[in-house]
Structure 1
Amino acid sequence: MKKIVLGSFTLFVVYAVLIWLYLFQWSDTSIPDALKGTSVDPATFMNERELVLAQEYSQIKDFLFFLSVPYEWLGFVLVLVLGFSRKFSKWAKDITKMSALQTAIYVFWLSLLLQVFTFPLDWISYKLSMAYNITTQSFTSWMKDMTIDFWISLIMMCLIVFVLYTLINKSPKRWWLYAWLLSIPFTLFITFIQPVVIDPLYNDFYPLKDKQLEEKILHLADEASIPTDHVYEVNMSEKTNSMNAYVTGIGANSRIVLWDTTLNKLSDNEILFIMAHEMGHYVKKHIYVGIASALVLSLVGLWMTKKLSDMIMRKWGTNLKVKSFQDVSSLPLILLLLSILTFAVSPATNLLSRHHEVQSDTYALELTEDKEAAVKTFQALSRSGLSQVNPPFLVKVFRYSHPTILERIEFMEEHNKEE
């Protein structure tokens, strides 16, 4: 146990040092000389203070991201080798003989412990955003959102874990396949109800107040053959100064949503470009492609989790304080493996997402025929979020679901020349 704990901490510290060196010492985030003075150059749309803040904020934020992932893995390892998982399982069995309640009790204590373990990094990220004026949310409001997150995750986890271990006990060899089959309707159901059930728990959504702007947006939607009666606005200015817009939901619950910060900071033409971009996601059916690709990856991931967990249990089950994989105390091992696999495949999923974003940018430019609005929009997004125009390679690969600002603006300029 001591070797595992010491080894895990040593690896984490070495990894943290290497990531710090990469982000703060080894990475070149300057733009190519040929692009200096152009619309891509942040010096043309940011003042000196904003340039410094964007560099500082991006580096620290990226460092925290790359720390948070293995930090979560470390938490799963410690919960196993220190015997917490086994104790939680024993407590649950001592309290009740009902398997559903045993699962709920176990998941509650495991979730609470992991929440406490990860809270320091969450709090540091919150304070960082406050310090750089990205977040405007009060600590009370932030804690309220974290509490909502905790209980929503707990409810879903209780259901998922109960079904999962029922399958593991009934079919030790093929549980992963049955779990995947059940995940299909569950994923579709959650995606369908999210806009009308889950999202309103965090913010207030309402039809766009500016009716003239809504009319322009609906005219664009009509040109794109998108059946919609409303564009939704959400009051994010209470929590952030950054901007965003997105498409969410499927079927009758599909929604195009604008943050009110976007409405307050951009001109109508810039907002119309953003809306055309989001319509591009709808027209190109990116939500359905995303769901399909996620389901394919989850099938492979569950199969690999089965194979890896069998191997780990044979070799190190005793060290992990797990008597049997069929016992719910093995859950941190499953979560650890799924987290590692998800991180490993994130470059591929981000690459697909960036491809979708390029398609939507192209669609928006062709629909609005307003390159100037597109360029100004990307510049404003970079400025409001203090984003690096040309982030380090690993940051782009593991973090960016959108092309970089440099790539998006340069694409707009080149696409316009081609036309």
Structure 2
Amino acid sequence: MKKLVYWALAIYVLYGIGMAWYLLVVADISIPPQWKGTSADPATFLTPKELELSGEYSRWKDLLFFLSIPYEWIIYFGLLAFGAAQALRTWIEQTAKWFPVQSALYAFWLSLIITALSLPFDFAGYHLSRAYGVSTQSVTSWFRDRLTDFFVHTVLLVFIAAVLYWLIRRFGRRWWLYAWMLCVPFMIFFLFIQPVVIDPLYNDFYPLKDKKLEAKILGLASEANIPAEHVFEVNMSEKTNALNAYVNGIGSHARIVLWDTTLQRLNEDEVLFIMAHEMGHYVMKHIYWWLAGYIVLAFFGLWLVSRMMRWIVARWGRYMGIRQLSDFASFPLLLLLVSLLNFAASPLVNVVSRYEEHAADRYAIELTGNKEAAISSFQKLTKAGLSEVNPPFVVKIFRYTHPTMLERIVFLEEYAPPLREGR
């Protein structure tokens, strides 16, 4: 097992060199000739210095992403191969005798170990964003957010570990089916509590100060049948120069949110287009389609994880110190398999997400009818976040949940409003 870890590290180094060569040297991010000089060409709305910084920042950010994913897998594999998962299990069993306490302790310490080992990559991402002027967050504030992340993720991990290992012990091979059945109410519950419980842990939310703009946004919301009485503003300028807005939550907990950076850098027409886009997701019920899609993926994912875990534990369990599937020492293996499957499914998930985002763009331009404001808002989003207008293909399929800025602006350039009746 230790030899396998060393081989994995060697492959990881070679992979990292290959990805660096591809992203920093080979990848073509140039604008197609037919769109040079148009509003889709970043040279028309970015300064030469901003163009240079955008290319550098995006390439390094993409490289960090592609290095961090397999690094996470190596952490899980290393915990299994070097006996850390087994040693932690043994210590927990000696410390506590009651199953719920054992599962909570194991999940807590596992979360702490993974968070600590992942911290270098997390800090590198923060430092990169800060160095290029995208992040404005202080180190103290950044660490405070990481502590909040640790708290939220650990609570979820404790809950998941307790439920999953109880199901494994209670139902044996069919544990995955009962786990999937519990996913549905859990996902719905999380969608309800996120806007009012999770999000405020990171930022302060307050009613939009510009009441004239709020009235116009609520007017759009009324046309979209969104049950919202207020528009919320969040103070993100303390953390970033990037722009964003969103509508999240379901039912009575639906919340319209604008970052203060968006209000500072976009004019009224641009803000209304951005909000119309977010409302398009609500009108077309994308959140429910997202929920249904993840329920289907969870079904097949949990089934695959259960079969793969049984096979791996039967074949190599003794080398990893895993006595049986219900052994807590198998938890890093479960997390490893889930991470692998999530990454494998990400191109498909991103394709669906990009389709929904394009549909929301279409909805927004049809609702507002202001092509100039739509194009300029995307240009300002690119400028504020130093985003790539035309990213490499591999980056697009694995990272982009939205169409590229090139695709979004080209769509607006070519958009022709539908003819009204009688014309």
Alpha-carbon distance between aligned partners in 2 of 1:278 and 1:23, rounded to the nearest angstrom: 31
Alpha-carbon distance between aligned partners in 2 of 1:225 and 1:413, rounded to the nearest angstrom: 29
Distance change >3 Å, CA 291–CA 326, structure 1 → 2:
same
**Helix, strand or coil at the partner of 1:366:** helix
Give the Å deviation of 1:318. 2.1
Amino acid paired to 1:117 = L
Alpha-carbon distance between aligned partners in 2 of 1:288 and 1:34, rounded to the nearest angstrom: 38
Alpha-carbon distance between aligned partners in 2 of 1:310 and 1:257, rounded to the nearest angstrom: 45
- Corresponding residue of 1:70: 70
- Corresponding residue of 1:281: 281
- Corresponding residue of 2:20: 20
Q: Is the 8 A contact 2:86 2:320 kept in 1?
A: no
Alpha-carbon distance between aligned partners in 2 of 1:298 and 1:138, rounded to the nearest angstrom: 37
Amino acid paired to 1:131 = A
- Corresponding residue of 2:57: 57
Q: Is the 8 A contact 1:371 1:416 kept in 2?
A: no
Q: Is the 8 A contact 2:208 2:214 kept in 1?
A: yes
Q: Deviations over 1:163-205 (max 9, x none)?
A: 1001001111100000010111111111101100111011011
Q: Is the 8 A contact 2:2 2:82 kept in 1?
A: no
- Corresponding residue of 1:312: 312
Q: Which runs of 4+ in 1 moved over 4 A?
A: none
Q: Deviations over 1:205-263 (max 9, x none)?
A: 11111000011111222223333211111111110000011121111101121111000
Amino acid paired to 2:260 = D
- Corresponding residue of 1:196: 196
User: Is residue 269 of structure 2 the alignment partner of residue 300 of structure 1?
Assistant: no
Amino acid paired to 2:291 = I
- Corresponding residue of 2:394: 394
What is the TM-score when the length of structure 1 is the normalising length? Answer: 0.98
> Within 5 Å, which residues of 2 pair with 1:394-413?
394-413=394-413
User: Is residue 117 of structure 2 the alignment partner of residue 120 of structure 1?
Assistant: no
Give the Å deviation of 1:264. 0.5
Give the Å deviation of 1:63. 0.2
Alpha-carbon distance between aligned partners in 1 of 2:141 and 2:338, rounded to the nearest angstrom: 31
Alpha-carbon distance between aligned partners in 2 of 1:104 and 1:5, rounded to the nearest angstrom: 28
Alpha-carbon distance between aligned partners in 2 of 1:15 and 1:365, rounded to the nearest angstrom: 42
**Helix, strand or coil at the partner of 1:257:** strand
Unmatched tracts of structure 1, length 5 or more? none
Alpha-carbon distance between aligned partners in 2 of 1:358 and 1:125, rounded to the nearest angstrom: 28
**Helix, strand or coil at the partner of 1:389:** coil
Alpha-carbon distance between aligned partners in 2 of 1:44 and 1:247, rounded to the nearest angstrom: 31
**Helix, strand or coil at the partner of 2:319:** coil
- Corresponding residue of 1:205: 205
**Helix, strand or coil at the partner of 1:246:** strand
Q: Is the 8 A contact 2:227 2:252 kept in 1?
A: no
> Within 5 Å, which residues of 2 pair with 1:255-266?
255-266=255-266
User: Is residue 92 of structure 2 the alignment partner of residue 92 of structure 1?
Assistant: yes
> Within 5 Å, which residues of 2 pair with 1:46-195?
46-195=46-195
Amino acid paired to 1:264 = Q
- When structure 1 is superposed on structure 2, of 393-402 and 307-316 the one drifting more is 307-316
Give the Å deviation of 1:418. 7.3
Give the Å deviation of 1:112. 1.0
Q: Is the 8 A contact 1:389 1:406 kept in 2?
A: yes
Amino acid paired to 1:106 = Y
- Corresponding residue of 2:337: 337
Alpha-carbon distance between aligned partners in 1 of 2:356 and 2:270, rounded to the nearest angstrom: 20
Task: Provide the identity percentage.
Answer: 53
Alpha-carbon distance between aligned partners in 2 of 1:318 and 1:6, rounded to the nearest angstrom: 19
Unmatched tracts of structure 2, length 5 or more? none
User: Is residue 244 of structure 2 the alignment partner of residue 244 of structure 1?
Assistant: yes
- Corresponding residue of 2:324: 324
User: Is residue 416 of structure 2 the alignment partner of residue 416 of structure 1?
Assistant: yes
Q: Deviations over 1:18-48 (max 9, x none)?
A: 1111111221100011111000000000000
Alpha-carbon distance between aligned partners in 2 of 1:318 and 1:329, rounded to the nearest angstrom: 11
Amino acid paired to 2:157 = M
Give the Å deviation of 1:321. 2.3
Alpha-carbon distance between aligned partners in 2 of 1:203 and 1:14, rounded to the nearest angstrom: 40
- When structure 1 is superposed on structure 2, of 48-57 and 80-89 the one drifting more is 80-89
Q: Is the 8 A contact 1:205 1:235 kept in 2?
A: yes
Give the Å deviation of 1:71. 0.4
Alpha-carbon distance between aligned partners in 2 of 1:2 and 1:278, rounded to the nearest angstrom: 49
**Helix, strand or coil at the partner of 2:219:** helix
Alpha-carbon distance between aligned partners in 2 of 1:226 and 1:163, rounded to the nearest angstrom: 35
Give the Å deviation of 1:108. 1.4
What is the TM-score when the length of structure 2 is the normalising length? Answer: 0.97
Alpha-carbon distance between aligned partners in 2 of 1:345 and 1:105, rounded to the nearest angstrom: 31
> Within 5 Å, which residues of 2 pair with 1:212-223?
212-223=212-223
Amino acid paired to 2:93 = K
Tell me how many residue pairs correspond in the alignment.
419
Alpha-carbon distance between aligned partners in 2 of 1:226 and 1:248, rounded to the nearest angstrom: 11
CA RMSD of aligned residues (A): 1.1
Alpha-carbon distance between aligned partners in 2 of 1:155 and 1:418, rounded to the nearest angstrom: 50
Q: Is the 8 A contact 1:103 1:158 kept in 2?
A: yes
Q: Is the 8 A contact 2:232 2:255 kept in 1?
A: yes
Alpha-carbon distance between aligned partners in 2 of 1:405 and 1:195, rounded to the nearest angstrom: 28
- When structure 1 is superposed on structure 2, of 330-339 and 312-321 the one drifting more is 312-321
Give the Å deviation of 1:2. 2.6
